[in-house]
Amino acid sequence: MSKFKVVVDQEKCIGCNTCPLIDPETFEMDATTYKAKVKAQPETITENVKTAISSCPVTAISIVEESN
C-alpha cells in the first residue's frame, strides 16, 4: 500500500507565504527561517493542497509517495 507525504523543499522556498494562505491546515510559516513548512500531513490530497502546490512560484512543494 502506498502512502503520500507533502514536502516543502527548504532550499527552494522563498517564504512568499502563499501556501499557508491557501491551506492553513496543512502549511505554516517557520518563525525562525521565514519559510513555509508542513504543519500537519493531510489525510488526503485536497483541492487546497493541489492549489497550494500549483501556486508555489518556485515549485518548492511536492507530494512524495511512501511505500509501507
Do residues 14 and 57 touch, judged by C-beta distance below 8 A? yes
User: For residue 1, is pLDDT > 50?
Assistant: no
pLDDT tens per residue across span 11-43: 999 999 999 999 999 999 999 999 999 999 999
* 39 grid coordinates: 504543519
CATH level 3 topology of 2-67: Alpha-Beta Plaits (3.30.70)
Spell out the residues 6+ positions from residue 54 whose beta carbon is closer than 8 angstroms to its own.
none
Alpha-carbon distance 18 to 66, whole Å? 26
Give the three-state DSSP class for 21: helix
State mean pLDDT over 51-64.
Answer: 98
Closest of 43, 65, 38 to residue 53, by C-alpha:
38
Contact between 51 and 23 (Cβ < 8 Å): yes
| Structural domain boundaries in the chain | 2-67
